[in-house]
Amino acid sequence: MSRLARPTNGRMIGGVCAALARRFGTSATTMRVIFLVSCLLPGPQFLLYIALWILLPSEGKTQTAW
C-alpha cells in the first residue's frame, strides 16, 4: 500500500477519492462511485471528505521520513 497523499494528477475536486483509491489499490472512478452511493446513507460523509481534504497533504508537499 502506498502512502496516503492527494495526487497532483487525476484530481476531480480535492483529490481525496484519488488518494484513497491509490491507497487501497482500486480505481479512482470506483472510489468516487462508492462515495456518491454512501451519500445516500445517513452520516457525515461530506464533513469527512472536507476533513480529509484539509488533513491529507498534497503529493508534492509530502516529506519523506529518514
pLDDT digits (tens, 9 = 90+) for 7-52: 888 788 888 999 999 899 999 999 999 999 999 999 899 899 999 9
What cell numbers appear for 36 in the block? Answer: 456518491
Amino acid residing at 37? V
Query: C-alpha angle 16/56/41, rounded to 5°?
Result: 45
Residue 61: closest CA among 22, 24, 19: 19
**Are 18 and 6 contacting, i.e. CB atoms less than 8 angstroms apart?**
yes
The number of beta carbons lying within 10 Å of the beta carbon of residue 52 is 17
pLDDT band at 60 (very low <50, low <70, confident <90, very high): confident
Q: What is the pTM assigned to this prediction?
A: 0.77
